[in-house]
Amino acid sequence: MRFFETTPLGSILNRFSADFNTIDQHIPTTLECLSRSTLLCISALAVISYVTPIFIISLVPLVITCYFIQKYFRVASRDLQQVEDSTQLPLLAHFSETVEGLTTIRAFRYEARFQQKLLELTDSNNIASLFLTAANRWLEVRMEYIGACVVLVAAVASITYRLQNNLATGLVGLGLIYALMVSNYLNWMVRNLSDMEIQLGAVKRINSLLKTEPENYKGLLSPSQIPQDWPNSGEIQIQNLSVRYDSSLKPVLKHVNAHITPGQKIGICGRTGSGKSSFSLAFFRMVDMFQGRIIIDGIDIAKLPLQTLRSRLSIILQDPILFSGTIRFNLDPENKCSDCVLWEALEIAQLKHVVKALPGGLDALVTEGGENFSVGQRQLFCLARAFVRKSSVLIMDEATASIDMATENILQKVVMTAFHERTVVIIAHRVHTILNADMVIVMKRGAIMEYDKPEALLEQEGSMFASYVQADK
């Protein structure tokens, strides 16, 4: 879960589409071209060296020059081909801004065609393509210079060697023919080497997925050590809990301590970034609890298998989630409950009349994402689903943030009546939604600042909770 939270969806799709396509289709072709051009270049130099052994002396400076040229070209080519927008490369950004500035000059305003061409150039793909073409031409010119030097050295060496050693005319011609082709071979060898370096980046990115650290699914407790009805009462003890999203990041919760008795309704409030949502994620072990622990009904949740932990707790999120299928499937995915229990849950959520009016009743279809229901109705379906699960612990993470006041009142009424025997942790979007809670936790910068009954906090002078309530009116 942490991987999908921290990795953009587009990046994942690119790994399984563009990168795999590069590995399957492009790398073999590029490798073949690179091998062929390299072998041709080596064979040409070998023939020249065989015809005129003195040529080997001149290879040293030529090879050094070629090395620095190809190194510079590979760096430039890699940057230009990998750029996705002009802001990623200062040179492209500067060029784009310069061209855009030219379009504002009075002298060019009358020339609409020229202005349009300049605007087309500001597109990042056009700019990258333009610079890549220029880089290829840059390489071609310099490889031709090296090729000319090879021809010159080979010709002088052949003439000198023929005069001294009576070299056959045919061998001289053979050496010069190969010397004329060296520049072309060098050009393609460097280009293919640059392309291969870029394409191997796809292998590196996919290989990084293999090194993704998996979550600890198994846990330390076996199924026989976990009671079938856990959690049965809903007592929660939070002891010196510190939480962070990654080992390289700072903690978002710092030394949090709290004790929630069975059946209590706990409201949690605070400014944005105070750690409210991180508090709820800690119950499902979706964040790194590097210090402290959460004990629910006598069992440390860090020792539980993830499947067991997440299947025994219930949560209602800010954005209600429904799945494609039937209403029955959305309320009871494991098909464990009878129709009477499902209708009871719908009646508690005040959706019974809505479902009865649909063709098929409980077997009525739910479109993708529940688009055939309003946001408020989707949230109430999530509430009914939580009731069906019969979990002793319910977490509501800003569940009223995206619904209207009428639906919010229904939600609060159901929580205080149908869930009166269950422990409910309410992450408040609006402070007035937790005024009827048994206890209130006020958080700031990952720490608990106030923890008391709402009435007691409202009576305290300088209370943060009282200031939040006043600002919410």
pLDDT in tens, 351-408: 888 899 888 888 899 988 888 888 888 888 888 888 888 888 888 887 776 677 777 7
Average pLDDT over residues 271-288: 86
How many beta carbons lie within 10 A of that of residue 124, not counting itself? 17
Average pLDDT over residues 174-194: 85
Predicted confidence at residue 296, as pLDDT, reads 92
Distance of CA 330 to the CA centre of its chain: 28
Q: Identify whether 153 is part of a domain.
A: yes
Tokens found for residue 122:
């500001």
Predicted confidence at residue 110, as pLDDT, reads 44
How many beta carbons lie within 10 A of that of residue 281, not counting itself? 22
Backbone torsions φ then ψ of 326, nearest 5 degrees: -105, 165
* Percentage of the residues of the chain whose pLDDT score is greater than 90: 10
Predicted confidence at residue 109, as pLDDT, reads 46
Q: Is the domain of 21 the same as that of 159?
A: yes
Maximum pairwise Cα distance, the chain: 113
Predicted confidence at residue 84, as pLDDT, reads 43
Q: Identify whether 307 is part of a domain.
A: yes
Q: Identify whether 223 is part of a domain.
A: no
> What value does the mean pLDDT of the chain take?
81
Average pLDDT over residues 50-64: 84
Q: Identify whether 5 is part of a domain.
A: no
Q: Is the domain of 349 the same as that of 450?
A: yes
Distance of CA 332 to the CA centre of its chain: 31
| Domain C-terminal end among 210, 236, 256 | 210
Closest CA to 151 of 185, 172, 182: 182
List C-alpha distances in Å: 225 to 96, 219, 265, 298. Answer: 65, 12, 29, 12
| Domain C-terminal end among 182, 210, 238 | 210
Question: Kind of pairing, strands 314-316 and 447-452?
Answer: unpaired
Q: Is the pLDDT assigned to residue 158 strictly greater than 50? A: yes
Predicted confidence at residue 30, as pLDDT, reads 92
Average pLDDT over residues 413-418: 77
Q: Is the domain of 303 the same as that of 441?
A: yes
Residue type, 154: A
Q: Is the domain of 138 the same as that of 173?
A: yes
CB 178 within 8 A of CB 44: yes
User: What is the total count of domains within the chain?
Assistant: 2
Q: Identify whether 455 is part of a domain.
A: yes
Residue type, 225: Q
Predicted confidence at residue 26, as pLDDT, reads 92
Domain assignment of residue 417, given as a range: 228-472
- Selection from 31-35, 78-82, 267-271 with the highest mean pLDDT: 31-35
Q: Is the domain of 205 the same as that of 263?
A: no
Tell me the chain's radius of gyration from C-alpha atoms. Answer: 35
CB neighbour list of residue 176: distance below 8 Å, 6 or more residues apart: 151, 154, 155, 158
Which residues lie across from 268 on neighbouring strands? Answer: 427, 441
Q: How far apart are the first and last CA of the chain?
A: 37
Average pLDDT over residues 30-48: 91
Helices (H), 83-234: 90-102, 112-121, 124-165, 169-210
Average pLDDT over residues 194-199: 84
Q: Is the pLDDT assigned to residue 207 strictly greater than 80? A: yes
For residues 192 and 35, give the distance between their C-alpha atoms in angstroms, rounded to a whole number: 9
pLDDT tens readout for residues 248-260: 888 889 889 999 9
Distance of CA 133 to the CA centre of its chain: 32
CB 379 within 8 A of CB 319: no
CB neighbour list of residue 351: distance below 8 Å, 6 or more residues apart: 377, 380, 381, 384
> Comparing 35-39, 77-81, 382-386, which segment has the lowest mean pLDDT?
77-81
With both helix axes pointing from N to C terminus, report the angle between 405-417 and 375-389 in degrees, rounded to the nearest 10: 10
CB 449 within 8 A of CB 258: no
Average pLDDT over residues 34-55: 88
CB 270 within 8 A of CB 444: yes
Single pTM value for the model: 0.64
Which residues lie across from 426 on neighbouring strands? Answer: 267, 396
**Does residue 174 sit in helix, strand or coil?**
helix
CB neighbour list of residue 39: distance below 8 Å, 6 or more residues apart: none
Place of tokens 């400014």: 271
What is the 8-class DSSP label of residue 301?
Answer: G
CATH number of the structural domain spanning residue 396:
3.40.50.300
Predicted confidence at residue 130, as pLDDT, reads 63
Q: Is the peptide bond before 231 cis (omega within 30 degrees of 0)?
A: yes
Q: Is the domain of 204 the same as that of 270?
A: no
For residues 351 and 361, give the distance between their C-alpha atoms in angstroms, rounded to a whole number: 11
For residues 41 and 269, give the distance between their C-alpha atoms in angstroms, rounded to a whole number: 71
CB 178 within 8 A of CB 47: yes
For residues 321 and 368, give the distance between their C-alpha atoms in angstroms, rounded to a whole number: 10
CB 440 within 8 A of CB 454: yes
Q: Is the domain of 263 the same as that of 318?
A: yes
Closest CA to 1 of 399, 306, 305: 306
Q: Is the domain of 136 the same as that of 242?
A: no
Q: Identify whether 3 is part of a domain.
A: no
Q: Identify whether 395 is part of a domain.
A: yes
Q: Is the pLDDT assigned to residue 410 strictly greater than 80? A: no
Tokens found for residue 63:
């090879």
* Percentage of the residues of the chain whose pLDDT score is greater than 70: 86
Q: Is the domain of 246 the same as that of 372?
A: yes
| Domain C-terminal end among 151, 181, 210 | 210
Q: Is the domain of 242 the same as that of 184?
A: no
Q: Exposure pattern of 62-88 as b/e (b: 16+ CB <10 Å)?
A: beeebeebbeebbebbebbbebeebee
Q: Identify whether 1 is part of a domain.
A: no
Q: Is the pLDDT assigned to residue 350 strictly greater than 80? A: yes
* pLDDT confidence bin for 23, thresholds 50/70/90: very high
Predicted confidence at residue 113, as pLDDT, reads 53
Q: Is the pLDDT assigned to residue 133 strictly greater than 80? A: no
pLDDT tens readout for residues 81-117: 555 434 444 554 555 555 555 545 444 444 455 545 5
Backbone torsions φ then ψ of 236, nearest 5 degrees: -125, 125
With both helix axes pointing from N to C terminus, report the angle between 55-82 and 124-165 in degrees, rounded to the nearest 10: 170
Q: Is the pLDDT assigned to residue 243 strictly greater than 50? A: yes
Q: Is the domain of 460 the same as that of 419?
A: yes
CATH number of the structural domain spanning residue 113:
1.20.1560.10
Q: Is the domain of 196 the same as that of 264?
A: no
